[in-house]
Structure 1
Amino acid sequence: MSNPPRRKRSLGWISVIAAALVPTLIAIAAHASVPSTPSGWSLVWSDDFNGGAGSLPSSANWIVDTGHAYPGGPANWGTGEVQRYTDSPANLSLDGGGNLRITPIKSGSEWTSARVETRRADFKPAAGRVLRIESRLQMPNVTGSAALGYWPAFWALGAPYRGNYWNWPGIGEFDIMENVNGLNSVWGVLHCGVNPGGPCNETTGLGASRACPGSSCQSAFHTYRFEWDRAVTPNQLRWYVDGQQFHSVSQSQFDSGTWNAMTGHQGYFLLLNVAMGGAFPNALAGSTPTSATVSGRPMLVDYVAVWQSGSGSTPSPTVTPPPGGVDARSTIQAERYQAQSGTSLETTTDSGGGQNVAQIGNGDWLRFDGVNFGSTAATQFNARVASGAAGGVSGLVQVRLGSPTATPIGDFAVGNTGGWQSWRTVPANISGVTGTQTVYITFSSGQPADFVNLNWFSFGG
């Protein structure tokens, strides 16, 4: 669901669009809670979409995309889709019954709809484990000519896409569920490598499709699942609908550079949206939407959940510390953590460029292994921070050793610095530290809003 020209599918669907059908009312199944965590697995993250009717999804979990593009990104979200995304409850809201509704609406000549993405961008299995990403949802309940141009999707993009927007498809894309034009079919697709061509046959991608089991995709809820398996060699990617596998891709199909570019970064963020028109629906039906396309048929999302095999939910290390550890008195880049919770990465405008850790709020943390303080005690902590938090919103940046719940050895408070890329270096005194330590940078606030970005830190004294 992203980036410059694509979605020219050649997956065996040479379909004749059926004659117009009388639209049917949406059959809403009873809300189902996030399934119990299976034995041998751990829950990494989930959202059950419980809340009052008409409210937006949790801002702690989701970013709402608006407009026709990311700022500085490709027009029409890189796919040629025609709608404008909004945060209006008419397009995006909870239904009060445990579902999220994403509803395309035509007003005059304009289509509007909605697109959300997880704040977390670190969904990735640890080495030797399996990551399972799943949603129970109902596609827009519309078929035939009335459905032309509808393009619902549940998918994932590589985290380095945030703030860049021109590195697709190398950073990877997993289309867990795609559908167009009201066809009773789910597509699962991998995008990678280079565009056009490359090992993922861009702009088409490596994909497969099948009809939904039992009831059609449009008339009922179905469960769509993607698994990233690092417990087998070579690694595998697998797609399922209602527990039935219909597509798989093996690491052995790719050169090491392509695979590493797609899997070697910190992980993925998840997206839900309903586009209107664009390359994929147009490839099967000509120019869409048409005058026959009806407005107002929502995609209903019951839950989204991520599990990992084994115990614990911490993503695999993104960076291995060098032999001998990291010099505590050097400039330690925040994005070079070995594990984290609750944050994401973005391109920084601070001196030196690169990335900073972003979207940091209460309870988030970063872990740095093998930080070598030597035999002379370090007594000061310096951190490069920025904040665009609202007035009155602030929090603490803390240093802990050995555990994210250990007693802090030092901290400082930070509030709005003038913007999320308005950087300043803040010092703090810490209890004297020697030897080689596992350092946790933790973040504490009395409210749920994000309050700080972190670019780098160092120790002195």
Structure 2
Amino acid sequence: MMTTANRRRRRLAAVAVALAALSGLLVQVAVGASASVPATPTGWSLVWSDDFNGSANTLPSSNNWIIDTGHAYPGGPGNWGTGEIQNYTSSTSNLSLDGSGNLRITPLRSSSGEWTSARVETRRADFKPADGRILRIESRIQMPNVTGNAALGYWPAFWALGAPYRGNYWNWPGIGEFDIMENVNGINSVWGVLHCGVNPGGPCNETTGLAANRACPGSTCQAAYHTYRFEWDRSVSPNQLRWSVDGQQFHSVNQSQFDATTWSNMTGHAGYFLLLNVAMGGAFPDALAGQTPTAATVPGRPMMVDYVAVWQSGGGGTDPTNPPGGVDARSTIQAERYQAQSGTIVETTTDSGGGQNVGAITNGDWLRYDGVDFGTTAATQFRARVASGAGAAVSGLIQVRLDSPTATPIGDFALGNTGGWQSWRTVPANVSGVTGTHTVYLTFSSGQPADFVNVNWITFSTT
């Protein structure tokens, strides 16, 4: 049970977090003038981005990225399940910012013949379009500038994996994989691939997947930067998945190609996390060139990444820090992404997808989210991802209010102990029909002066 002294220390920590967040905001504003992420298109909202600004020979932001190391996930299939041979490291020789706004992933070969390289994945694992919206995932990348025999075994990729893969590692391909950009052996071509269903065979023809490829427009994929984009469109029926390079679509699939179970397993979970890596050798390059890499393969040719960004349709505006439409009410709103709060802290979560949650919440605390856009179709349900390790006699209400922390709640639900502060469950509640754009307050009410809930995320829907 938390003592008053412990709680006071957590409150002081919350102040430090808030100051750090403010400091980070100031840094972001200062950097923003030279940032390379494109302006948010009108009618869209920026969900997440990284422009890789920072000092040369430093690692990418640990707030945004997890660095994978070794030859496998702990307890997962060897050689990352693909037969690739390299050892992934966190060395800045393999993974670093270049000081000019790019991420550099460089495969190297040691004097003993061991290949090393790098692989990173986003901490967030909830990239998914709200119902009726389009999610756009995009990166500007120059593939390793190497061709011919010197390129045999190079396998750069920008891709996404379904969130349930984290911590399981044996549920592929059912949870879904979107390969936004794949390339092997220095060929002037980009492959877009969907993996799903069962292995082998199934509706996605595993292990090959449903694939298409084309040459990069204009300059080769290796000689210049190109923009690789994937769109998950829930605004049309049947839903569509689309791949493009430099704005030119070259691959698409739609929901009607799959049975309901396959589509649900691939799209019905919390969302996806994004990955960037350069593998060496493995099933794909070997299938086109025999055993790779070879003695002729040249090390030291990096994949260069200018930015990664995720947008969602329906937000509106060109200023990602304050779009007129704000955040989409039907998206997954991470609890820690509030604009203001009272009495809470931010801490690391073990919930699926990782990241952070808001904690130390007790009677009278609140969280504020500005510019939440409910659109013209009334939202009638609220869902929150919550956990509680409160004592047996401690419980409270999670309340939703609009535009004022003292307004009459439009909906609420009660919560007691869920089995622990990281024992998560998703709880629904009805809310009065809401349209338009509002400031949303989460307020917390309890008859006991003790912490009673942690919150990971919230969302609104019509059903």
TM-score under structure 1 normalisation?
A: 0.68
The residue number in structure 2 matching 1:340 is: 334
C-alpha distance in 1 between matches for 2:262 and 2:172: 12
C-alpha distance in 1 between matches for 2:259 and 2:274: 25
The residue number in structure 2 matching 1:46 is: 49
C-alpha distance in 2 between matches for 1:234 and 1:217: 32
Deviation at 1:340, TM superposition (A): 3.3
Given the alignment, which residue of 267, 271, 276 partners 1:272?
276
1:50-69 mapped onto 2 (5 Å cutoff): 50-69=53-72
C-alpha distance in 1 between matches for 2:60 and 2:190: 25
| 1:218 and 2:222 are equivalent in the alignment | yes
C-alpha distance in 2 between matches for 1:243 and 1:135: 12
| 1:384 and 2:378 are equivalent in the alignment | no
Given the alignment, which residue of 149, 157, 167 partners 1:153?
157
Higher helix share: 2
Say if 1:400 and 1:406, in contact at 8 Å, map to a contact too: no
Change (3 A) 1:371 1:120: closer
C-alpha distance in 1 between matches for 2:108 and 2:36: 28
C-alpha distance in 1 between matches for 2:201 and 2:75: 25
Say if 1:340 and 1:365, in contact at 8 Å, map to a contact too: no
Change (3 A) 1:166 1:316: farther
Question: Match of 1:401, as an amino acid?
Answer: Q
The residue number in structure 2 matching 1:402 is: 400
Q: Secondary structure at the match of 1:402?
A: strand
C-alpha distance in 2 between matches for 1:181 and 1:95: 24
The residue number in structure 2 matching 1:143 is: 147
Question: Match of 1:127, as an amino acid?
Answer: D
The residue number in structure 2 matching 1:244 is: 248
1:30-179 mapped onto 2 (5 Å cutoff): 33-107=36-110, 108-179=112-183
Deviation at 1:92, TM superposition (A): 0.3
Change (3 A) 1:439 1:275: same
Say if 2:314 and 2:328, in contact at 8 Å, map to a contact too: no
Deviation at 1:313, TM superposition (A): 4.0
Say if 2:142 and 2:222, in contact at 8 Å, map to a contact too: yes
C-alpha distance in 1 between matches for 2:382 and 2:225: 48
Deviation at 1:342, TM superposition (A): 6.2
The residue number in structure 1 matching 2:286 is: 282
Deviation at 1:441, TM superposition (A): 8.6
Question: Match of 1:168, as an amino acid?
Answer: W
Q: Which 5+ residue runs of structure 2 have no aligned equivalent?
A: 1-33, 316-325, 338-347, 360-366, 373-379, 391-395, 407-418, 423-429, 433-439, 445-452, 458-463
The residue number in structure 2 matching 1:199 is: 203
Deviation at 1:400, TM superposition (A): 6.0
C-alpha distance in 1 between matches for 2:153 and 2:91: 21
Q: Secondary structure at the match of 1:157?
A: strand
Deviation at 1:402, TM superposition (A): 2.0
C-alpha distance in 2 between matches for 1:62 and 1:283: 31
The residue number in structure 2 matching 1:24 is: none
Q: What's the CA shift string for 1:390-414, capped at 9, x where partnerless?
A: xxxxxxxx98632699769xxxxxx
Question: Match of 2:122, as an amino acid?
Answer: T
C-alpha distance in 1 between matches for 2:443 and 2:389: 13
Q: Secondary structure at the match of 1:135?
A: strand
C-alpha distance in 1 between matches for 2:336 and 2:302: 30
The residue number in structure 2 matching 1:259 is: 263
Q: Secondary structure at the match of 2:277?
A: strand
Instruction: Report the count of equivalent residues.
Output: 349
Say if 1:314 and 1:341, in contact at 8 Å, map to a contact too: no
Change (3 A) 1:147 1:230: same
C-alpha distance in 2 between matches for 1:170 and 1:365: 37
Identity across matched positions, percent: 71
Change (3 A) 1:425 1:93: closer
| 1:231 and 2:235 are equivalent in the alignment | yes
C-alpha distance in 2 between matches for 1:284 and 1:94: 32
Deviation at 1:40, TM superposition (A): 0.9
Q: What's the CA shift string for 1:78-108, capped at 9, x where partnerless?
A: 0000001011000000000000000000002
TM-score under structure 2 normalisation?
A: 0.68
Given the alignment, which residue of 347, 355, 360 partners 1:359?
355
Say if 2:50 and 2:308, in contact at 8 Å, map to a contact too: yes
Say if 2:357 and 2:454, in contact at 8 Å, map to a contact too: no
C-alpha distance in 2 between matches for 1:34 and 1:120: 18
Change (3 A) 1:109 1:86: same
The residue number in structure 1 matching 2:345 is: none
C-alpha distance in 2 between matches for 1:232 and 1:357: 27
**Aligned-CA RMSD value:** 3.6
Q: What's the CA shift string for 1:192-218, capped at 9, x where partnerless?
A: 000000000000000000000000000
Deviation at 1:72, TM superposition (A): 0.7
Say if 1:124 and 1:316, in contact at 8 Å, map to a contact too: no
Question: Match of 1:54, as an amino acid?
Answer: N
Deviation at 1:109, TM superposition (A): 1.4
Question: Match of 2:61, as an amino acid?
Answer: S
Segment of structure 1 superposing worse, 31-40 or 208-217: 31-40
C-alpha distance in 2 between matches for 1:273 and 1:425: 34
